[in-house]
């Protein structure tokens, strides 16, 4: 069964600190993995997209990694800001389908 699991479920950090969110997936055949940021009451916004051959991709303070062998991905946020408070969703796409498999998300709260 195609699944995407994320950890931790929620995370609280202080402004300026770094954090790392985890994503494990069992999706086959794998096409790509993406991280989205979803602010409360808003739609998801894409942060990074990685294919099988890519193992790291950055978007500003966000850096995603992908290990296709172990089927794990991480999202590292550097020097967190209050505006980083949101849910971060790991989404995996399988080949030959237009459907996405969503993780349950990590709720990040950044406090001053």
Partner 1 sequence: GAVVSQHPSWVICKSGTSVKIECRSLDFQATTMFWYRQFPKQSLMLMATSNEGSKATYEQGVEKDKFLINHASLTLSTLTVTSAHPEDSSFYICSATKPPHSYNEQFFGPGTRLTVL
Binding site for partner 1 (CB under 8 A): 31-32, 34, 36, 41-46, 49, 51, 89, 93, 98-100, 102-105, 107
Minimum distance from residue 69 beta carbon to partner 1 (Å):
20
Q: For residue 104, say if its preceding peptide bond is cis, omega within 30 degrees of 0.
A: no
Beta strands 86-94 and 30-38 are antiparallel
Nearer to partner 1, 37 or 65 (CB): 37
CB 74 within 8 A of CB 95: no
Nearer to partner 1, 65 or 106 (CB): 106
Nearer to partner 1, 46 or 81 (CB): 46
Minimum distance from residue 26 beta carbon to partner 1 (Å):
16
Nearest to 106 by CA among 3, 5, 2, 1: 5
The distance from CA 102 to its chain's CA centroid, rounded to whole angstroms, is: 10
């Amino acid at each position: 069964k195609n699944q995407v699991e994320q950890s931790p479920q929620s995370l609280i950090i202080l402004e300026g600190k770094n954090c790392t969110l985890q994503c494990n997936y069992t999706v086959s055949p794998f096409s790509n993995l993406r991280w989205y940021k979803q602010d409360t009451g808003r739609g998801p916004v894409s942060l990074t997209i990685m294919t099988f051959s890519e193992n790291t991709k950055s978007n500003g303070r966000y850096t995603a990694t992908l290990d296709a062998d172990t089927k794990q991905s991480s999202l590292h946020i550097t020097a967190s800001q209050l505006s980083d408070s949101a849910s971060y969703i790991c989404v995996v796409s399988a080949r030959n389908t237009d459907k996405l498999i969503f993780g349950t998300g990590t709720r990040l709260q950044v406090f001053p």
